[in-house]
Amino acid sequence: MENPSNYASQYFATLARVAGGIAVTDAAQRTISLDAGIARFVDWCRTAAAAGSKLMFVGNGGSASIASHMAVDFSKNGRIKALAFNDPMFLTCLGNDLGFENVFAFQIETHAEPGDLLVAVSSSGRSANIHKAVAAARERRARVVSLSGFDDVNPLRALGDLNFYVPAAEYGYVELLHCSLCHCVLDALMGVKTD
């Protein structure tokens, strides 16, 4: 830490700068604005809810925490069916029997239906089990939203129908902004006012 007396202000200034650089692309890799991306994400959630479809969240490590957090919040506060596929018994059983790269894909193949929405969260965008989850969702005709960071050419960034990329190489910034993006969508669904 270079100057501990103003570290906090520098940290949050960096977080704001990184947030201002979030990039959003569609399935054809066309750049769209953050507002347009969030509006589309909100619309897809509303469409899923109206059809009785569900949101599915996957992630590893800190991203698994985001997945669990968002599954609860979208269910309780957003009144949308939502679940995260990171129960330890499933992960250890499926990892042992099918390989860790298949722990999410198997669950999505089992539970996903056309019209569902997968939110795939990975700071690096390079996790094989997240990539396989996306492929399984596509086979089940579910839409995919990806949240990634680190390298701007990470593979996950090109796999979603809607892709949010956080331009940072530090887990803290990427994870905070992935969580913030999801809360932005949820707050829009709930009609939370902004200043």
Digitized pLDDT (tens) for each residue of the chain, 195 residues in all? 566 889 999 999 999 999 999 999 999 999 999 999 999 999 999 999 999 999 999 999 999 999 999 999 999 999 999 999 999 999 999 999 999 999 999 999 999 999 999 999 999 999 999 999 999 999 999 999 999 999 999 999 999 999 999 999 999 999 999 999 999 999 999 999 998
How far apart, in whole angstroms, are the C-alpha atoms of residue 55 and residue 144? 10
How far apart, in whole angstroms, are the C-alpha atoms of residue 61 and residue 67? 10
Number of H helices and number of E strands within the chain? 7, 7
Amino acid 195: pLDDT: 84
Amino acid 4: pLDDT: 80
pTM over 0.85: yes
How far apart, in whole angstroms, are the C-alpha atoms of residue 41 and residue 17? 23
Domain boundaries, the chain: 19-190
Amino acid 1: pLDDT: 55
Residues sharing a CB contact under 8 Å with residue 162, sequence separation 6 or more, in sequence order: 24, 25, 26, 27, 37, 40, 41, 44, 143, 144, 145, 146
DSSP type of residue 101: G
Amino acid 2: pLDDT: 63
Size of the chain in residues: 195
DSSP type of residue 152: T
Going by C-alpha positions, the residue among 194, 192, 190, 191 that lies closest to residue 76 is: 190
How far apart, in whole angstroms, are the C-alpha atoms of residue 38 and residue 127? 24
How far apart, in whole angstroms, are the C-alpha atoms of residue 39 and residue 35? 6
Query: 19-190 maps to which CATH number?
Result: 3.40.50.10490
DSSP type of residue 140: T
Amino acid 25: pLDDT: 98
| DSSP H or E run through 145 | strand 143-148
